Amino acid sequence: MPELPEVETVRRGLAEHVVGRTVTRAAFFGARVTRRHPPGPEDLAAQLAGARVAAAERRGKYLWLVMEPGRGDQPDRAPAAFALIVHLGMSGQLLVEPPDAPVEAHLRAAFDLAGDAPGPGPGGGSGGGPGWVGTQLRFVDQRTFGGMALADLVPAPGRPGGVPQTITHIAPDPLESAYDQRAVVAAMKRRQSAVKRALLDQSLVSGIGNIYADEALWAAKVHGERPCAALSRPALARVLTAAREVMERALEAGGTSFDALYVNVNGASGYFDRSLHAYGQVGRPCARCGAPIRREAFMNRSSYSCPRCQPRPRLAGRV
DNA sequence: CTTTTCTCCTGTATGC
DNA sequence: TGCATACAGGAGAAAA
C-alpha cells in the first residue's frame, strides 16, 4: 500500500527517467482512471500531447508532474505550466518500459515519451542503457482507486513550483520544509477525535496511512484510540516525530530497489518484511516487551498494537 | 464547521 | 472442487 515513502520512491524514479522528456501521445483505458478529471480522458490526452515534463513533485501521497505545454500557435509566449496529478491509490504502479512490452492486465494509461532524460538513466547517452527506440510511461492499477487529473499550479509556502489547485486541502507532509510540527500539534490538541484518526487525516498532516500510523503509535507507545485532547503536547509531538522517523527509515530501505527500467511501487519497500513492529504482526512478540501484538477493528479495517506498551484508554468512546 | 460513515475496486486467503 | 465471504484500504462524497 503506497504511503509517503513508497510514493517518494516513485517520484525519484520519475525524476530520473521521465523528467526532461516530452509526451508525444497519451492514452487512457477505462473511465475510472480519469474520474477526477471532469473534462474526460480525451481532453486529458489532448492537453498532454506535446507537453514536456519539467519536474516531478510530491506532497503526502500525491504525485504530480509539472508539464510545460508545447508552443503551438503562439511561439513567442510560453503558456503556463500545469500539473498532471497522479494518485496511486492502493495498487497503482508507474512503469517505464519499451513501447512493445507486453500489455499489463490492468493498464490504465500509457504515455509515449520522446527525448532523453537527464542523468544516468536509460537513453541517457551513447553508452550503457537498453537503447530503446522509444519509451513508455505506463500506469497500471489493479483496483483503480488511483487516478490522474490535470490542475493549475497555485503558489504555496515553501513550494517554489506551487501546488495543484485541486489538492490545496492536502497538508504538508513531515518530510517537506513547509511542515510545521508545532502547528500540527496545536491543531491536534483541538481535535475531538482519536489520535489515529487524526494521523490519517490528510488535511492535518499528509502522507501517513494505516501502516505508518500503527508503526508511529507503537514507537511512541500510544494507543490509537486515545483522544487527541487527552494527550499532552509533548506526547503528540512524540507521535508525529515517530511518524516522520519511521517514514524516513522506510524511504531509506525502499529507495534503492528500483532499477533503471522500472519505477515500481510494489517493489519499492523492502521495509514491509523486515522492519514492521506492529502492522500485520498479530500474535508475534512485541520487539520491546515480548507481549503478543494484538489486532483490533478500526474503521472497517484493522489496527495493530502492543497490549502492554500501548494500553487502551479507559474511556474508549463517548456516547 | 466538525466528525463519522459509506463507497469505489479486484486479487488473495479462508471456510464450508 | 466450487462457491461464498472476508479482507486489504485512500480519499472524497454524503450523512450526522
Quick check: A218 pLDDT over 50? yes
When pLDDT is averaged across residues A49-62 and rounded to a whole number, the result is 96
Of A65-69, A106-110, A259-263, A283-287, the least confident: A259-263
- Is pLDDT at A125 greater than 50 in this prediction? no
Residue A115 pLDDT exceeds 80: yes
Q: What is the mean pLDDT of residues A48-52?
A: 96
Over the stretch A176-197, which tens digit does the pLDDT of each residue have? 999 999 999 999 999 999 999 9
Q: Known catalytic residue: A2?
A: yes
Q: Is the per-residue pLDDT at A297 higher than 60?
A: yes
Looking at A3, A6, A57, A215, which residue is catalytic?
A3
User: Nearest nt (C1') to A198 (CA)?
Assistant: B3
Mean pLDDT of A79-106: 90
CB atoms within 10 A of CB A169: 8
Nearest nt by C1' to A301 Cα? C9
Cell 536509460 sits on residue: A122
Name the residue with the least CA to C1' distance from nucleotide C7.
Answer: A301
What confidence score (pLDDT) does residue A319 get? 34
A6 carries an active-site annotation: no
Question: Per mean pLDDT, which range of A86-95, A218-227, A304-313 is the poorest?
Answer: A86-95
Task: Estimate in Å the CA A313 to C1' C13 gap, whole number.
Answer: 31
C-alpha cell at A158: 515553501
The whole-chain average pLDDT of chain A stands at 86
Query: Three cell numbers at A62?
Result: 500525491
A89 vs A132, which has greater pLDDT?
A: A89
Q: Is the pLDDT of residue A103 over 50?
A: yes
Q: Which chain C positions come under 7 Å from a protein C-beta?
A: 7-12
C8 C1' – A210 CA distance, angstroms?
11
Average pLDDT for A63-76: 83
A289: confidence class by pLDDT, cuts 50, 70, 90: very high
Flag whether pLDDT at A242 surpasses 60.
yes
Catalytic member of A190, A301, A314, A318:
A301
Separation CA A66–CA A173 (nearest Å) = 19
Q: Which of A58, A59, A61, A238 is catalytic?
A: A61
Q: Which residue has the higher pLDDT, A161 or A266?
A: A161
Q: What is the mean pLDDT of residues A43-66?
A: 96
The model's pTM = 0.90
| pLDDT tier, A1 (very low <50, low <70, confident <90, very high otherwise) | confident
Cα dist from A85 to A44, A63, A94, A198, whole Å? 11, 6, 13, 24
Enumerate residues near strand B (beta carbon within 7 A).
A 32, 105-106, 142-145, 190-194, 197, 299-300
More confident residue, A133 or A219: A219
Instruction: Quickly give A201 CA vs C15 C1' distance in Å.
Output: 18
Q: How far apart are CA A113 and CA A137, in angstroms?
A: 7
- Mean pLDDT score, A243-254: 88
Q: Quick check: is A196 catalytic?
A: no
Q: Decide if A3 is catalytic.
A: yes
Q: Decide if pLDDT at A119 tops 90.
A: no
Which nt sits closest to A88, CA to C1'? C10
Structure confidence at residue A128 as a pLDDT band (50, 70, 90): very low
The pLDDT score that the predictor gives to residue A299 is: 87
